[in-house]
Amino acid sequence: MTSPADHELQEGVLLASGARLEQFARAASGDAFCFVGEGGEERPVVYISLDGEAGLLALGLPELVRLCLVAPWWRDAAGRSAEGIRAAADQYWQDIPDLDQRRDRAARALGLDPARLPCEAMVLDRLVELARGPAAEACLVIYDEGEPLDPLFDISAHRR
């Protein structure tokens, strides 16, 4: 059972743009998934870690669901660099050898066709694209003093 306090952001965390930041879920670690702005599930989604990192993950809930189905290890990657993501993926496959069957079962339960899910490379390239794009600037998370949180992904290590 959760309490309303489980759905509150750390004090002093907000968007630089002044847009609304609405937490809709928490990871087991306590990190927050938040919608940006007004509207429904089509809004951008940012992730805010308790370690002082934040970043744009998806443009809408459906894109976030695809990310979590295809690359559930993104959060566990050391430094969230290309190398860290690959190492986390390899560890997931070692620990959960039937991960693709579990992913497909979860996709079907959500009404998604597993064959139509994007591949891992596409999902990870999308994270880099979002981190470098104009939407990332509009979703910049700061402390109330104006200092930005650290970037969620080390995009300097990715090729373009």
User: How high is the mean pLDDT in each 10-residue block of the chain (160 residues)?
Assistant: 52 90 90 94 94 93 95 75 78 92 96 95 87 90 92 61
Question: Is residue 36 assigned to a domain?
Answer: yes
Question: Is residue 67 assigned to a domain?
Answer: yes
Question: Is residue 159 assigned to a domain?
Answer: no
Question: Is residue 158 assigned to a domain?
Answer: no
Range of the domain at 70: 4-150
DSSP per residue, the chain: ---GGGG-PPTTEEETT---EEEEEE-TTS-EEEEESSSSTTSEEEEE-TTSEEEEEEESHHHHHHHHHH-GGGGGSGGG-HHHHHHHHHHHHHH-TTHHHHHHHHHHHTT--GGGSPPHHHHHHHHHHHHHSHHHHHT-EEETTSPBPEESS-GGGS--
Question: Is residue 13 assigned to a domain?
Answer: yes
Question: Is residue 14 assigned to a domain?
Answer: yes
Number of domain units in the chain:
1
Question: Is residue 98 assigned to a domain?
Answer: yes
pLDDT at 124: 84
Question: Is residue 46 assigned to a domain?
Answer: yes
pLDDT at 153: 78
pLDDT at 148: 94
